[in-house]
Structure 1
Amino acid sequence: MERLFPPPVPRKEANLEIAPFKKEDAAVFLVHACAEGWLCEPWEIDFLLNAFPSGCLTARKGGVPFAFVTAVSYGCHGWIGNLLVHPAERGRGVGLTLMQRALAELRKVRTETVWLTASAAGRPLYERLGFREIDTVRRWVGAGCGNARTLQGQGDVPVLPADRLGWGEPRTQLVDAITARAVVYSGPAGFLMAQPAAGYIQIGPWAGDSLRQTFHLFDKLLSHLGKKRVVLDSPAGNDIEGDLRMRNFYATSSASLMFRGERPEYRPHTSVPWAASEAWGEVASIYSDKELR
């Protein structure tokens, strides 16, 4: 792919070690992620370390991790996220080094399209790395209604075909991992997953022939939640903003959805593909401008 600008070159940092992201590093990462105000659950990191360990990396000094990135590959597509550098170490090109290493790992498995989300401050550097904007992702927050009850899945429509319709690639590992911990609502037109988290419910993935045809599943879920907080990350291109506002949801932040490589067949009207609050680059780390300083 042609570059409009030369790729940025990270500065060499003395005593810097790029090393695999180990399971024992997860606790350190989660502390830093919490300090940044991210929503991130431990299971997300466990999934990534098992699904694509070579793309999950840390930067260390004296053996202590202070910066992190994760990547995951689904067939021809991949995501990069969780790019986080300790505040005291920013401005030295460490985030860029991790980013380039993660991209290299995705190239090794012949990934054709790499996705991420970017803040306004981070976007220019991602563009220099060859990424282009395709949409905007907004984080929506609302609450349930009706009487709180124990969530129980409804319907028996196969999830994987509908998820593949929206995503464009089979995400069997991820969908299986989510299904094991989520409540699934499904109907003839598609499905919606509700994931219990610490103090809120995360919606996603949510997919169907048309999201508007599956809003009855969303309403059914809300009616079961009482006043519990609900979080949803949704691309602007699916045009459900009015429907969400009618249900008293409000946008709290936004990010550019970007890709690099082969232009994907993008179908935002069929899917809210994000399956986690922060973990896959799908809205990860990128609600601040701190990832590449």
Structure 2
Amino acid sequence: MSIVPASVKDWQDFNRLAEQQGWDVPDNELSFYPQSLNSYCYALKSADRVQGFVTAVLHGQTAWIGNLIIDPTFRGQGLGGYLFDYILQQLWKAGAVSIWLTASNQGRPLYERRGFELVDEMVRLRVNGTGCKNAIGQLCAAQLETLYQIDCAAWGESRTAMLSHLGRQGRLVQNQTQTALVQFDSLGGIIGPWYAAEGFPAADIRLVEEAQSLFSRETELVCDLRASSVPLAAFAHLGTLTQSENVLMAVGDRNGCSLDSMIALASLGSMG
């Protein structure tokens, strides 16, 4: 049994396992990992068969562990913990100060045993578009700079590699107090990252409604919201809210991160 950097063929196995698990993994995320210099992707193999897979990205000193999955055939043997400990070691060695992830109820005990603490509950919002067709777009340099600055203020460091990648297929929706990136993906629409100005922490449903107008009625949009930032009663009529299934967790020194302004993640749990 060995842990090796993921090959092109290994990614095919990851896609198969993720589909079996019923995960939503956007193409925007999958295309980021192989080409980014600060990403980590490993396959756990035995006799050339992929038994598990893990991905992570290091944004300066802030790391995210995104996709930890074990083939159902090999579960119950401690392989998830073995693979998770390996990626933790790689990230600490590379200079991570804090490591973040979103955890399911099933996976949460594994992370708690390694010192991860609850930061917030996550709420997944699913809505349909309200437009006639799906829009396209790409952020210009000025829009990207706006996104970089808002994001850096929250996380305390630059995450430009990820944001510039996501901005290649996206648009900004803004009002006087809030800014969100709307991503165009083969999965559908993704709203995030989404930030509020200081003193305006609650999510504004008008940004969701503007995002909906960029997609057809047959297209679904997804957004992973911090529960503490969401007025649930106001959002419930827009679509489907899924609560109490995933939480945001972290370990390490989080003093550089001021997430009061963060409403939604930039990705569906995989990159922060």
- Does the CA-based 8 Å contact 1:21-1:56 persist in structure 2? yes
**Greater CA drift, 128-137 or 231-240:** 231-240
- Does the CA-based 8 Å contact 1:38-1:278 persist in structure 2? no
- Does the CA-based 8 Å contact 1:167-1:271 persist in structure 2? no
CA distance in 2, matches of 1:73, 1:116: 12
Unaligned runs of 5+ in 1: 1-15, 283-293
**1:107-256 alignment runs, 5 A limit:** 107-148=92-133, 150-151=135-136, 157=143, 158-209=146-197, 210=200, 212=202, 215-227=205-217, 228-251=219-242, 254-256=245-247
Over 3 Å counting, the alpha-carbon distance change for 1:152 and 1:122 in structure 2 is: closer
Match of 1:9 in 2: none
User: Size of the alignment, in residue pairs?
Assistant: 266
Structure 1 or 2: larger strand share? 2
- Letter of the 2:2 partner, please give it: E
Match of 1:86 among 48, 64, 71: 71
Deviation string, structure 1 residues 3-57 (Cα, Å, up to 9, x no partner): xxxxxxxxxxxxx111111233212211110111001134423312333567321
Match of 1:271 among 262, 267, 271: 262
Say what the alpha-carbon RMSD is for the aligned residues. 2.6
1:239 shift after superposition? 2.9
CA distance in 1, matches of 2:259, 2:167: 22
User: What is the TM-score when the length of structure 2 is the normalising length?
Assistant: 0.86
Q: Is residue 18 from structure 1 mapped to residue 3 from structure 2 by the alignment?
A: yes
Q: Residue 137 of structure 1: SS of its match in structure 2?
A: strand
- Does the CA-based 8 Å contact 1:143-1:249 persist in structure 2? no
Deviation string, structure 1 residues 59-96 (Cα, Å, up to 9, x no partner): 01112322100111112211112101100011111111
User: What is the TM-score when the length of structure 1 is the normalising length?
Assistant: 0.80
CA distance in 2, matches of 1:179, 1:33: 24
- Does the CA-based 8 Å contact 1:205-1:274 persist in structure 2? yes
Deviation string, structure 1 residues 114-147 (Cα, Å, up to 9, x no partner): 1112222322221111111111112111222254
Q: Residue 176 of structure 1: SS of its match in structure 2?
A: helix
- Does the CA-based 8 Å contact 2:66-2:101 persist in structure 1? yes
Match of 2:57 among 72, 77, 102: 72
Match of 1:46 among 19, 31, 35: 31
**Greater CA drift, 48-57 or 35-44:** 48-57
**Greater CA drift, 137-146 or 106-115:** 137-146
